[in-house]
Amino acid sequence: MFPVCTAIFIFIELRVAREPIVPAALFINSSIPALLVVAFCVGGAFFSAVYYISLFFQVVNGETATNAGVKTIPLVFGVVVLSIGSGITISKTGRYKMFLYIGPVFMTAGAVLISYLDVNSLLVQKIFYLFIFGIGGGSMIQTRILAIQAAVPIQLIAIATAVSQTFMTLGGAFGISVLGTIFNNVIESNVKNYPTLSAAIETLEKAGIPADPTNVLALVGKIHGNPILANVAAKASDEVIALFTGAFHIAYLTLLVFPLTVLVMTLFIKEVSMRQKH
């Protein structure tokens, strides 16, 4: 449906609307499509990463949702540091394109490192890996807005900014959906490799208790909360964590398509000096 709705929207905007929401003049600069793809990919990578690392802390480390959120602070700190740093650099030099090269490199490195986290990972590893990913995100989140504002006429800056934000939000929804599908498929394919967990799920279902292995958090709660599984709860929980970690690894590596796409799209962006713009 998304491609169909997009095509209808474009047709109406270009052929029907007298005062289109997204005027065709916005795309007079060939850099705009590339920058919108960058915004889409930044959203896809960043929002998906935050969602799954929070889930990791809850399932693997047994944290509450609140504590899992707190443990993502290193990632947010990396975003803040680079957002401020890139802003200061751009204001002094008027140049921004380098950050669209730096960001994907750090984001790729961070995603690879995070994908290898497991139950035995040290706290310092988690902090460092999340910070690295955050640096990558911080290098691009603000920069792609400044870049698109520099690429359009002054009267279109507000529209360009709004469209860029929309693409980033759409990218986030797309990324979480795609990674969720991959994650669930890996879980469903590999659960049979864990005999104790498979037996526990079968026992729960025979007792009339739904046990969906893709709903990992709920499954952990059901395993520990039912006395009929008291003898196998510890072993089954270990297998849930192992199953989750394997799916988490593959899902996080899938994120790499987003920063790599940003690198390619940056090649098509023509840098306009912010000083020249203003």
Q: 98-156: per-residue pLDDT in tens?
A: 999 999 999 999 999 999 999 999 999 999 999 999 999 999 998 999 999 998 888 88
Does the pTM of the predicted model rise above 0.85? yes
Q: What is the pLDDT of residues 144-176, one digit of tens each?
A: 999 999 988 888 899 899 999 999 999 999 999
pLDDT of residue 274: 64
Structural domain spans, the chain: 31-173+255-277, 189-245
Per-position b or e across 43-61, b if 16+ CB within 10 A of its CB: bbbbbbbbbbbbbbbbbbb
pLDDT (tens digit per residue) in 223-237 = 888 888 888 888 988
| Residue 275 confidence class, pLDDT cut points 50, 70, 90 | low
Question: Which has more pLDDT, 22 or 127?
Answer: 127
Architecture of domain 31-173+255-277: Up-down Bundle (1.20)
